[in-house]
Amino acid sequence: MNVERDAEAVYDPAALAEDVDLDLERRKEILHAEAVAAGGTLWQALGLPWNAPTSAVKSAYLEAAKVFHPDRYAGKRLGTYRARLERIFRRATEARDVLGEETRRAAYARTTAPATEFTKMEARKLDDERRSAERRARLARQNPLVARAARVGELVGRGKAALERGDFLAAANDLQLAQSIDPSNPELSALAAEAKRRGAAQRAADQFDKAMAAEAMGSFSAAAAGYRAALDADPRHVRAAAAGARMALKLGDLSTAREMAQAGVRAGPGLGVAHEALGMVLEAQGDKKEARRALEKALELDPKLELAKERLKKLRWGILG
């Protein structure tokens, strides 16, 4: 069991020597569990394998409680072990709360998937793609009559693949070529137009990336210009709008900030970042109530927005002097 060997190195051997009413095995068990509680996943806190079903959680929790709840050692001298037991138990309770509920469990499983699981999934995907490409090529080689159609098919396929891959400029190229061979195909022209639009979006994305890099390096005005260019290339680029608003705010250009934040909310009313940016602009304007509402909306849409959380906390909870 290498888990145990690993864990043994984690705890302080001095802790094992503490004079308490617990036998050596129990002390070892507690120290080990404490190390797992501090550094392991919630699965490990309950001694469960990754992605164990909710049905296994309750039983594992009860078992953990029976060993690690401080009441189990009532009346004994526990020294620092009391706090250790409480820490282990708290982590187990947290694990029960998260893993015992289907949606929270699934979300947690995704973020904690072990590397081996990832590789397996990726390998499976690549395999599928290679096989379908071979099939298409075989079909095209068979007959000159179908060669033209195959050529169009190939171009469309490549275009679609490029679309899927996110290489929209290449996709637009292929699809426009295919359209010139087969101009009467309405599906094809729609696809080509789509690729063109997505190409613009990609330009916007490039601009956005550059602007982000500029922001990271501290040249805020370059970043602001970049975000603006991204938004011009793709008016539906919500994150560019949000980031642009933030930049403008930083540069003190409140009216641009407001304009971009509003554009962001218009383009993506269902996206938390848009509302987050708007909330910050409103806060800068001094409109606290509206700011709070926007930030709350942002968090409602996306509870992971740290910035919004922090701003909201500041808006809401200051401590009385």
Q: Which residues form the interface with other proteins (CB under 8 A)? A: 58-59, 62-63, 65-66, 69-76, 86, 89-90, 93, 101, 313-314, 316-321
Who contacts 155 (Cβ-Cβ below 8 Å, separation ≥6)?
A: 174, 175, 177, 178, 181
Least distance (Å) from other proteins to the CB of residue 52?
17
Comparing C-alpha atoms, which of 154, 114, 163 is closest to residue 135? 154
Least distance (Å) from other proteins to the CB of residue 97?
8
Alpha carbons 114 and 83: distance in angstroms, whole number: 31
CA 154 from centre of chain = 35
Least distance (Å) from other proteins to the CB of residue 85?
9
**Residue pointed to by tokens 């910050």:** 280
Helix residue ranges, H only, 112-237: 115-141, 145-165, 168-181, 186-216, 220-233
Alpha carbons 137 and 271: distance in angstroms, whole number: 42
Pick 4 or 71: Cβ nearer other proteins: 71
Pick 70 or 235: Cβ nearer other proteins: 70
Here the contacts of 73-78 (C-beta below 8 Å, separation 24 or greater) are 73/21, 73/22, 76/20, 76/21, 76/22, 77/19, 77/20, 77/21, 78/20, 78/21, 78/22
Least distance (Å) from other proteins to the CB of residue 319?
4
Pick 46 or 238: Cβ nearer other proteins: 46
Pick 148 or 316: Cβ nearer other proteins: 316
Pick 92 or 281: Cβ nearer other proteins: 92
User: What are 233's two structure tokens?
Assistant: 């290339």
Question: Are the C-beta atoms of 278 and 296 separated by less than 8 Å?
Answer: no
Least distance (Å) from other proteins to the CB of residue 293?
16
Pick 37 or 155: Cβ nearer other proteins: 37
Pick 225 or 284: Cβ nearer other proteins: 284
Phi and psi (nearest 5°) for 187?
-65, -40
Least distance (Å) from other proteins to the CB of residue 70?
4
Least distance (Å) from other proteins to the CB of residue 86?
4
